[in-house]
Amino acid sequence: MVKIRLGGWIFRIKNKWEDVSFEEALQLYHAKDVRERVSILMTPALPKTLKVSDSHLLALYEIASFITEIPEVVGDKVEVPNAREWAFKDFELCRQAIIKHPENLALTFARINQILGLEQQHYIEIGAKALDGINAVTEQWKEWGIFDSVEPTGDEVAAGIERLQAFGVYGIVNRLAEHFGVLPEVIEKRSVNSVFLDWTYLLEQGKYRERLEEVRK
């Protein structure tokens, strides 16, 4: 920790991931701005009544900038399940957490650990390994266009499609649930790999039938 003096107050500010508890890391994930992030890492917390100039705030954030970086060495104390076997719901929640902090992936460590329900004391290692797993899954299936974003038409925008887009690829769950005649909750509990396999098969089957109809005309 680094000792600093600010506005007549003496603070200590954390400057490495190893000093950040799981609870603090989860707060960092939800923090709305730089001041809040800095305050979470300070002892005592930065008083709301204490005015801090932008230059001082940036200096403090420079000390705490490690929170935006993935540690080079994360250890090997916990085995993280293969992301392909995660429940689809867990995978999508983790993916949405990444979308929230695409430029600061380390901020998602605690949230990912919370979703997966694994050991909190090793959240940094778990988060880093989970990120690798999520990346492997998206690389495997991206050629099928599952994660592609399509520019909506004017009519779709007017109708409020952005509210549906906020759910990411959850539309797959509803479509598969309709196809198999089950509740969406059943699909959410299935593995990522099986959900994407069924989805891509249905897509290709639909395209084949369209081409077959064209050939027969």
Neighbours of 181 (CB within 10 A): 7
* pLDDT score for 165: 47
Classify residue 11 by its DSSP letter.
E
Neighbours of 93 (CB within 10 A): 18
Choose among 98, 86, 84: nearest CA to 139: 84
Domain locations along the chain: 2-68, 75-217
* pLDDT score for 57: 87
* pLDDT score for 148: 61
Q: Write out the chain's pLDDT in tens, 217 residues.
A: 899 888 788 999 999 999 999 999 999 999 999 999 999 999 998 888 888 888 888 888 899 999 988 887 677 888 999 999 999 999 999 988 998 998 999 999 999 999 999 989 999 999 999 999 999 999 888 887 777 654 545 664 555 545 544 455 677 888 899 999 999 999 999 999 999 999 889 888 888 888 888 888 7
Neighbours of 66 (CB within 10 A): 17
Give the tokens for residue 37. Answer: 């992030």
Listing DSSP states for 141-183 in one string gives HGGGTTT---PPPHHHHHTTTHHHHTTGGGHHHHHHHHHHTS-
User: Cα separation of 84 and 24, whole Å?
Assistant: 29
Classify residue 50 by its DSSP letter.
S
* pLDDT score for 155: 60
